[in-house]
Amino acid sequence: MYQLISSSVVNTPPPSYMMKLLNNNKPLYIPANGQRSTPSVPTDTKEDMMEIFPHDVTGLPNNNRKLMARRNYVAVVAYDPEVVNGTFGRTDMNQGSGKLSLAADFLVQGEGAYGNVVKYGPVVIPSLEYGR
């Protein structure tokens, strides 16, 4: 299950020590209900963040690649990947497979109060199939 998390545009970004704490490199395994948590024992559910911020809005390398301490928002678009990729020899682009995926772009405020917006993504969330 994917979760797209963005901050409110009006919120002030957290301090750097908080970002360093939240950008841990270890996946968190979540135990079944009623079971005691043991962080190193794998379970059916794993919580892990994706590294989608390899560089800062200035272009410099970013040490914390999972979260960015800047004002931002997420733009989500639904699309049919078969129509976008033109697969299966379709010539009529209005007929897709009916399996909609999501594409999420993270738009981050640049330097200064009126800095340019920098786009990170897309993060593609595949469509779900019944019974899987």
Number of folded domains in the chain? 1
Kindly state whether residue 62 falls inside one of the protein's structural domains: yes
Q: Which residue has the higher pLDDT, 97 or 32?
A: 32
Kindly state whether residue 46 falls inside one of the protein's structural domains: yes
Please name the residues in contact with 73: beta carbons below 8 A apart, sequence gap of 6 or more: 6, 9, 106, 107
pLDDT of residue 5: 83
Kindly state whether residue 131 falls inside one of the protein's structural domains: no
Domain that holds residue 107: 16-125
Kindly state whether residue 4 falls inside one of the protein's structural domains: no
Kindly state whether residue 28 falls inside one of the protein's structural domains: yes
Kindly state whether residue 8 falls inside one of the protein's structural domains: no
Tell me the pTM: 0.70
pLDDT of residue 40: 65
pLDDT band at 126 (very low <50, low <70, confident <90, very high): confident
pLDDT tens figures, 60-111: 998 889 888 888 889 998 877 777 666 554 545 555 566 788 899 999 988 8
Kindly state whether residue 57 falls inside one of the protein's structural domains: yes
pLDDT tens figures, 36-52: 666 666 666 667 788 99
pLDDT of residue 75: 93
Give the three-state DSSP class for 84: helix
Beta partners for residue 116, in sequence order: none
Kindly state whether residue 101 falls inside one of the protein's structural domains: yes
CA distance 110 to 84: 30
* Dihedral Cα 90, 95, 99, 100, nearest 10 deg: 110
Q: Which residue has the higher pLDDT, 12 or 58?
A: 58
pLDDT of residue 61: 93
Taking 70 as the threshold, does the pLDDT of residue 130 lie above it?
no
